[in-house]
């Protein structure tokens, strides 16, 4: 009866609060498990701060605050587990792990555990540190899509945990050593009117101050520009402007030899389908995968990214709650499939009808699909749960009342009737 009362009380409390209870977390070796974080890709010889945003969000949304509990960050080295102290090149600072600087050997899986004597919860993240000479630009870069003619402000992403020095953020395009002019107050690179020639890789460099020492931090933004530049006309001559060829046409070949040019089919998004509704309950996390089929020889150069309401994830309102990554390429029959994950740590009412767009593009063409976020309607479910809970409660009360007021038997009368019956 006590257990049923507690369950019913919890159900009624959640109904009063207007939201269902969060789903239980899976367990392994006595610890609750949080979904893995999106992988982090960095360059060696730079300062790296490793943190666990999804793991911390779960602790916050589930109100997990353990007395006398501690955070422990470890690295799994096969059969050994490495722990870190608050000093040295790699050091744990509360809920973060600092690499001052990072080495290629630091690549691996890291686990953050929050526990005390009676409770344990853990999360994990994969860190990849590349040598400067062998850096994978596709994985290290933050893709941004824009249109010709738009105004764009590029900012250096993922720097909130660093203390900047007085030096200005320096911007470079592609491999040119020339510094681009950026805003002094914010460090943003402003492009008032986008042209196709603005497409390329932009690198931001800055110095950060950690433990009174300066370290280098850099980020790469891969800018993709869609559309055609407006035609240029002059008053001295009359010319016919040839519009820019689309991504389906190779400008190196004319119409006379097009038949001899092998056509590359555009990438195809197989999941999610256009118009998909992604339902998630209030307070829970969400992850969605974009799966793209393309030719294997251009899989590495095929761009796949998520947009939130038409903006990149890093510049959208979901910046602090969502992250994309985990790009994976696998061979499927005669083609290759690219998979990119989008993770939202916690869903709120603000996310209702948010547009999630997956965009893919290569030399064969471009495709995009749109999905929408929607909060699950738990009204009917919780009416049924409340009804079942109330029925159980009434049944327990009925049994309790019956036991309490059950009429007592007359022991003397029972004895007399037994004697009378035996005599007969």
Residue 403 placed within a domain:
yes
In a domain? residue 120: yes
Domain boundary at 133, 166, 193, which? 133
- pLDDT of the residue at 87: 86
pLDDT at 298 over 90: no
Q: Which carries the bigger pLDDT value, residue 57 or residue 72?
A: 72
Q: What is the CATH number of the domain that holds 351?
A: 2.60.40.10
Asked, for residue 335, whether it belongs to a domain, the answer is yes
Whether the CB-CB separation of 149 and 363 falls below 8 Å is answered with no
Indicate if 38 and 54 belong to the same structural domain.
yes
32 with 129, same domain? yes
Same-domain status, 140 and 40: no
Q: What is the pLDDT of residue 105?
A: 93
Q: What is the mean pLDDT of residues 190-206?
A: 89
Least confident of 37-46, 159-168, 241-250, 326-335: 241-250
Q: Per the domain annotation, does 213 fall within a domain?
A: yes
Which of 181, 170, 153 is CA-nearest to residue 216?
Answer: 170
Same domain for 383 and 317: no
- Does 125 lie in the same domain as 213? no
Residues 219 and 289 grouped into a single domain: no
Confidence of residue 146 (pLDDT cuts 50, 70, 90): confident
pLDDT surpassing 70 at residue 365 = yes
- Output the 3-class SS for 376-416: CCCHHHHHHHHHHHHHHHHHHHHHHHHHHCCCCCCHHHHHH
In a domain, 320, yes or no: yes
Please state, in angstroms and as integers, the Cα–Cα distance from residue 203 to each residue in 39, 376, 413, following that order.
Answer: 20, 41, 99
- The H or E element containing residue 114 is strand 108-115
Count: domains in the chain = 4
What confidence tens digit (pLDDT) does each residue in 220-237 have? 888 888 878 777 665 554
Q: Residue 186 is part of which domain span?
A: 136-229
Q: How many residues does the chain have?
A: 424
Residue 323 and residue 347 in one domain = yes
Tokens 């009804």 correspond to what residue?
Answer: 387
| 44 and 127, same domain (yes or no) | yes
Strands 213-226 and 141-147: parallel
* Domain assignment of residue 175, yes or no: yes
Q: What is the pLDDT of residue 74?
A: 94
Sequence-distant (≥ 6) Cβ neighbours of residue 147 within 8 angstroms: 194, 225, 226, 227
Q: What is the pLDDT at residue 134?
A: 62
Answer yes or no: is pLDDT of 23 > 90.
Answer: no
Across the range 315-343, mean pLDDT stands at: 84
Q: Mean of the pLDDT values across residues 144-150? A: 85
Mean of pLDDT over the chain:
78
pTM for this prediction: 0.63
């Amino acid at each position: 009866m006590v257990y049923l009362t507690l369950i019913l009380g919890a159900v009624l409390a959640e109904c009063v609060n207007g939201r269902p209870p969060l789903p239980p977390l899976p367990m392994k070796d006595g610890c609750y498990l949080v979904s893995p974080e999106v992988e982090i890709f960095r360059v060696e010889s730079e300062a790296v701060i490793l943190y666990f945003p999804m793991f911390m969000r779960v602790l916050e949304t589930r109100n997990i605050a353990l007395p006398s509990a501690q955070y422990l960050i470890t690295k799994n080295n096969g059969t050994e587990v490495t722990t870190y102290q608050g000093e040295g090149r790699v050091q744990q600072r509360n809920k973060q792990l600092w690499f001052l600087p990072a080495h290629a050997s630091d690549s691996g899986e890291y686990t953050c555990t929050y526990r005390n004597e009676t409770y344990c919860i853990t999360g994990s993240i994969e860190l990849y540190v590349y040598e400067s000479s062998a850096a994978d630009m596709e994985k290290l870069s933050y893709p941004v899509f824009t249109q010709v003619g738009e105004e764009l402000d590029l900012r250096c992403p993922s720097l909130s945990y660093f203390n900047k020095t007085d030096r200005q953020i320096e911007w470079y395009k592609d491999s040119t050593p020339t510094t681009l002019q950026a805003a002094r107050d914010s460090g943003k690179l402003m492009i008032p009117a986008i042209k196709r020639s603005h497409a390329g890789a932009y690198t931001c460099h800055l110095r950060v101050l950690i433990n009174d020492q300066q370290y280098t931090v850099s980020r790469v933004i891969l800018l993709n520009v869609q559309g055609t530049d407006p035609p240029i006309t002059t008053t001295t001559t009359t010319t016919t402007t040839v519009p820019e060829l689309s991504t389906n046409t190779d400008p190196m070949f004319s119409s006379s030899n097009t038949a001899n040019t092998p056509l590359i089919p555009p990438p195809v998004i197989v999941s999610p389908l256009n118009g998909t509704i992604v339902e998630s309950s209030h307070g829970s996390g969400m992850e969605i995968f974009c799966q793209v089929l393309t030719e294997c020889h251009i899989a590495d150069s095929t761009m796949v990214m998520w947009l939130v309401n038409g903006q990149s994830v890093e510049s959208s309102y979901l910046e602090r709650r969502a992250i994309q990554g985990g790009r994976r390429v696998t061979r499927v029959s005669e083609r290759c499939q690219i998979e990119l994950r989008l993770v939202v740590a916690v869903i709120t009412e603000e996310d209702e009808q948010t547009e999630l767009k997956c965009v893919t593009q290569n030399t064969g063409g471009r495709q995009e699909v749109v999905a929408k976020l929607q909060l699950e309607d738990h009204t009917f479910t919780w009416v049924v749960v409340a009804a079942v809970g109330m029925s159980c409660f009434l049944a327990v009360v009925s049994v309790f009342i019956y036991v309490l007021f059950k009429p007592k038997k007359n022991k003397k009368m029972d004895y007399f009737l037994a004697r009378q019956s035996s005599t007969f």
